[in-house]
Amino acid sequence: MNTGIDVPQIQRYGALYIASARLKSMSKWKAIIAAVDIGNPLFYLIAVGVGIGVLVEKGSGTSGTNGIKYIAFIAPALLANSAIAGVMDETVFPTIEGFKWRKLFFAQNATPITGRQIALGVYLSALCRAIFSVSVYYLLLIAFNVVEFGSSILLIPIAVLGGGAFGAIILYAAAKIEKDDQFFNILGRLVIMPMFLFSGTFFPLSSMPIYLQPIGWISPLWHATELGREAAFDYGISNLMVAVHLTFLSTLVAIGITLSMRQFERRLAK
């Protein structure tokens, strides 16, 4: 028997072992990740900053956006959206791969590591990716003078929370589906795209017809965007709503992680 195996230690830190292995895998893609995380914000900032934003302000000034420059108005949404995209990349893909394509989770589970720890480890590493994506984005926002350095730094944790809320649920979905052929299509076209368009991203949710607003209410993107706007420029939402947004997002994290951990454990134990 190997005397160096400290099972209680693994039970405490197993998820971190998994997360660090995931980060190591990600680092093999660092050039691509950096290109995406720098390129994507640049495109938006240029397109909206010098294009759409100018048109919007020519049309209605800043009255529709509580007096905030258009590009600044949408910045918190873009930030949260980048967190969501980052978390999605690092949960959906590794999960389907881990269960199905390369079965890496089964190898990890052949050690003292448990399915619950694998779920948590994948999630934590995805949050790391979100922190990276969002931080890069934030620096570009500062560089482009879209937001001022200060309380706007809160945009980073808020966006990560938004990404984390979405990611926790999507992690569960990715672990649940066994036939992945249409999953990416459905996810991209029927979840991500509507969420991006109808979460008060480009205009306040309240200016949308009431029957479309529920999309925003259940969308982590909307909650994170509202919080972000409040943090960055005193958007004027009530403390109650701040509490509602925070509660909604944390509840999604808790539910998503609980379901994911259970699903990973079950699927590995089949």
Partner 1 sequence: MSKPLISVRGLTKVFGDFTAVNGINFDVAKGESFGLLGPNGAGKSTTMRILAATSTRTSGTVEILDKDPEKFGPLVRAHLGIVPQEDNLDGELTVTENLFIYGRYFGLPKKFIKAKIEELLEFAQLEEKRDVKVQALSGGMKRRLTIARGLVSEPDILLLDEPTTGLDPQARHILWDRLFRLKEQGVTLVLTTHFMDEAEQLCDRLVVMDKGAIMAEGSPQGLIKQYSSKEVLEVRFGSDRNKEVAPQLSQMCERMETLPDRLLMYTEDGEKLLEQIAAAKLHPTTSLVRRSSLEDVFLRLTGRTLIE
Least distance in angstroms from the C-beta of 10 to partner 1: 4
Looking at 13, 196, 202, 203, which residue binds partner 1 (CB under 8 A)?
13
Residues 6 or more apart whose CB falls under 8 angstroms from that of 107 comprise none
Q: Do 124 and 15 touch, CB atoms closer than 8 A?
A: yes
Least distance in angstroms from the C-beta of 91 to partner 1: 18
Cα–Cα distance, 28 to 25 (Å, whole number): 5
Cα–Cα distance, 134 to 149 (Å, whole number): 15
Looking at 19, 113, 124, 136, which residue binds partner 1 (CB under 8 A)?
113
With CA atoms as reference, report the closest residue to 163 among 137, 134, 197, 198. Answer: 134
Neighbours of 185 (CB within 10 A): 9
Cα–Cα distance, 228 to 209 (Å, whole number): 23
Instruction: Answer yes or no whether residue 6 interacts with partner 1 by CB under 8 A.
Output: yes
Instruction: Answer yes or no whether residue 24 interacts with partner 1 by CB under 8 A.
Output: yes
Scan for tokens 């195996």, then name that residue.
Answer: 5
Least distance in angstroms from the C-beta of 97 to partner 1: 10
Looking at 50, 60, 102, 207, which residue binds partner 1 (CB under 8 A)?
102
Instruction: Answer yes or no whether residue 145 interacts with partner 1 by CB under 8 A.
Output: no
Q: Do 156 and 135 touch, CB atoms closer than 8 A?
A: yes
Cα–Cα distance, 224 to 33 (Å, whole number): 23
Least distance in angstroms from the C-beta of 268 to partner 1: 7
Only one of the segments 34-42, 97-105, 150-158, 187-195 lies at the binding site for partner 1 (rule: CB under 8 A); that segment is 97-105
Site map (CB under 8 A) of partner 1, residues 210-229, x = contact:
--------------------
For partner 1, give the closer residue by CB, 69 or 267.
267
Instruction: Answer yes or no whether residue 30 interacts with partner 1 by CB under 8 A.
Output: no
Size of site (CB under 8 A) for partner 1 = 31
Cα–Cα distance, 171 to 182 (Å, whole number): 16
Q: Residues interacting with partner 1, by CB under 8 A?
A: 1-2, 4-7, 9-11, 13-14, 17, 21, 24-25, 28, 102-104, 106-114, 268-270
